[in-house]
């Protein structure tokens, strides 16, 4: 394990600092964010990405928003905060943690007696959101590590490590926890087109942690499964519906179908906050479609013919029937998912008071 933990989100001297993930692994550059507009742009442009990380960034963005508002009364102050919070929540539509963090912040602000008190409460909440995320991820790691075999191949998709969270990671955190326990599975990570989060970020994190792994093109996964080289697949989630249907990085659904065909366990790893019991099934999840330039260009170099049309969905939905288990900080949940997930969500809310 690295001597220094990967910490992609920091708060220093009233400013949000984000490790620019669009520049990794070539450069490690920190962005200084001191306006709501800059924070929204960083989220939209995927300079900060991963559902948990976006949620933490959103909590700090609400602090920046609070500091930017000047109003004579608390009611006026709140009326000015509401449209700003709406813009923050709309920065990316699929990841539930973004809206969740904004809503929690709004509720905390409404409980304050003055704008100054609201700002203080929001900053305390943002710090707590960050700390809780790291602790949550470690619990996910401990829960999921028991499902990871001592040997064999483990395949993961996109990036679900410390960079996608406030620290440690979800699906990659499970792999890390298993490694810390002395297990030695062979790790495969997909390159994850078109943003190459697996090639640029997951591969970088594995190297930083000293965990051997192999990078594969997305389309090689099925071949490896057919050869018996994959013993389990563990991926993250951006939103989990009440019935267990899961939205995650595009390509996840294909992996799940292949896993079922080859009788390979397919695991989802996410904090319980990613479960949206207000969404009955995956059909209700809004899927973000991103600019065509992301597909036809790689690092500024066009790779596709001019004039070709492009479809660029950023996520897909894996039906619950393809999922072996959903691993959260509250335990390992198996079908029927609706009962298990609703119980876990309600228990979490009860513990939170």
DSSP string, 227-262: TT--SEEEE--SEEETTS-EEEETTHHHHHHHHHHT
Q: How many residues does the chain have?
A: 353
Find the catalytic residue in 20, 82, 133, 238: 238
**266 φ, ψ (degrees, to nearest 5):** -125, 115
Catalytic, 133? Answer no
Contact 321, 281 (CB under 8 A): no
Tell me: cis bond preceding 100? Omega within 30 of 0 counts: no
Burial of 327 per CB tally in 10 Å (0-12, 13-18, 19+):
buried
Residue 180 to residue 248: CA distance in whole angstroms:
26
Which positions ≥6 away from 116 have C-beta within 8 Å?
none
Alpha-carbon gap, residue 90 to 50, rounded angstroms: 15
73 strand-pairing partners: none
d(CA 138, CA 135): 5
Bridge-based pairing of strands 301-302 and 239-241 is unpaired
Q: Let me know: does 125 contact 4? Beta carbons within 8 Å.
A: no
| Catalytic positions | 238
């Amino acid at each position: 394990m690295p001597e220094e933990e990967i910490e992609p989100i920091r708060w220093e001297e009233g400013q949000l600092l984000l490790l620019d993930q669009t520049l990794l692994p070539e450069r490690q550059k920190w962005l200084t964010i001191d306006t709501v507009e800059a924070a929204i742009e960083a989220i939209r442009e995927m300079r900060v990405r991963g559902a948990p990380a976006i949620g933490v960034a959103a909590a700090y963005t609400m602090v920046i928003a609070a500091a930017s508002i000047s109003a004579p009364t608390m009611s006026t102050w709140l009326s000015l905060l509401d449209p700003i919070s709406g813009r923050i929540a709309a920065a990316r539509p699929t990841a539930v943690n973004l809206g969740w963090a904004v809503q929690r912040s709004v509720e905390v602000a409404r409980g304050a007696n003055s704008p100054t008190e609201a700002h203080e409460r929001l900053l305390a909440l943002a710090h707590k959101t960050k700390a809780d995320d790291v602790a949550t991820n470690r619990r996910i790691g401990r829960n999921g590590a028991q499902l990871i075999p001592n040997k064999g191949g483990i395949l993961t998709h996109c990036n679900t490590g410390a960079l996608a969270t406030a620290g440690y990671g979800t699906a990659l955190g499970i792999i890390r926890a298993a490694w810390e326990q002395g297990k030695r599975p062979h790790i495969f990570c997909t390159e994850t087109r078109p943003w190459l989060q697996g090639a640029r970020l997951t591969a970088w994190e594995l190297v930083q942690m000293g965990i051997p792994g192999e990078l594969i093109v997305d389309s090689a996964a099925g071949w490896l499964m057919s050869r018996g080289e994959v013993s389990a697949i563990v991926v993250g989630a951006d939103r989990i519906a009440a019935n267990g249907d899961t939205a995650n990085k595009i390509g996840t659904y294909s992996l799940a179908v292949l896993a079922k065909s080859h009788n390979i366990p397919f695991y989802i790893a996410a904090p319980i906050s990613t479960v949206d019991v207000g969404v009955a099934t995956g059909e209700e999840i809004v899927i973000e479609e991103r600019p065509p330039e992301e597909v036809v260009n790689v690092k500024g170099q066009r790779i596709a013919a001019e004039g070709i049309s492009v479809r660029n969905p950023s996520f897909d939905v894996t039906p619950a029937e393809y999922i072996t288990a959903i691993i959260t900080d509250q335990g390992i949940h198996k079908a029927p998912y609706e009962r298990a997930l609703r119980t876990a969500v309600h228990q979490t809310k009860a513990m939170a008071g």
